[in-house]
Amino acid sequence: MRTGLITKKIGMSSMFNEKGERYTLTFLKIEACQVVGHKTLKKDGYNALVLGIQNVKASKVSKSMKQVFANVKIVPKAKLREFRISEKCFLDIGATLEANHFADNQFVDVTGTTIGKGFAGSMKRHNFRGLEASHGVSVSHRSHGSTGGRQDPGKVFKNKKMAGHMGSTRVTIQNLKIVGTDNEKGIIMISGNVPGSKGSYVYVKDAIKKQQCLAN
């Protein structure tokens, strides 16, 4: 199991294949992605690489982080992220990772934070159909209706689907296909939708389920 990459979502487009079918493309940008630190099984209890992306001024990071970057002689980074790896997949601190870390037609898992929608009702948030738009229903056509039983159990269970905050959650989309990479510009093109708004950080790693299928 090797490390993934920290990328930034820069936009979307679409293309047509040979059959004339249209499919969505998402463009991810990788900029100055370097190995900042190691996590080892002996010291930390697990093996991982700490990656950083996008150079920033030293004044933009905390005092403690300035010392961390100074110790490894790396320019301060805007974003840090750990990736679990196998013991054989360690890279030297300061090593740079580029778009060609992934190959064309490879499957990857992409993790990001979805766009926040604020407070949403049950119909928008959970696709409820609402109440009847006929006799007997007044001023509550878009409500979610009853939320529990009567005296027994006498409460509303946790995780009940109701109105509330929608979006801004960590989501992983599995088995997305890489259409192409541009190593000079640091761009990765992925077929399909990727969670997150334009300019948000997205984490890409090898598809775990495809690896298991190949292993079997």
Write out pLDDT tens, residues 119-176: 999 999 999 998 888 888 888 899 998 888 788 888 889 999 999 999 999 999 999 9
Which domains does the chain possess? 5-118+176-215 (3.30.160.810), 119-144+161-166 (no CATH)
| Tokens representing residue 117 in the block | 């929608």
Average pLDDT, the chain: 89
pLDDT number for residue 214: 56
Phi/psi class of residue 171: alpha, beta or left (left: φ > 0; alpha: ψ in -120 to 50)? beta
Q: Judge contact between 143 and 133, C-beta under 8 A.
A: no
- Which region holds residue 37: left if phi is over 0, alpha if psi is between -120 and 50, else beta? beta
> Following DSSP, what letter does each residue of 145-161 receive, concatenated?
---S-BTTB-SPPTT--
Instruction: Tell me what percent of the chain is helix, strand and coil, each rounded to the nearest 5.
Output: 15, 40, 45
DSSP alpha helix (H) spans, the chain: 41-44, 63-72, 122-126, 208-215
Nearest to 110 by CA among 63, 46, 174: 174
Question: Rounded mean pLDDT of 182-204?
Answer: 91
pLDDT average, residue stretch 8-27:
90
Q: How far apart are CA 168 and CA 163, in angstroms?
A: 15
Give the model's pLDDT for residue 39. 87
Give me 19's structure tokens.
Answer: 């059959």
Calculate the CA 76 to chain-centre distance: 22
pLDDT at 213 over 80: no
Q: What is the pLDDT of residue 114?
A: 93
3-state class (DSSP) for residue 107: strand
Give me the residues paired with residue 197 across strands: none
For the chain, percent of residues with pLDDT exceeding 70: 97
The continuous run of DSSP H or E covering 28 comes out as strand 22-29
Instruction: State the DSSP code for 192.
Output: S
68-122 residue pLDDT tens: 888 888 888 888 899 998 888 888 888 888 998 898 889 999 999 999 999 999 9
pLDDT of residue 29: 93
Report the chain's terminal Cα–Cα distance, integer Å. Answer: 16
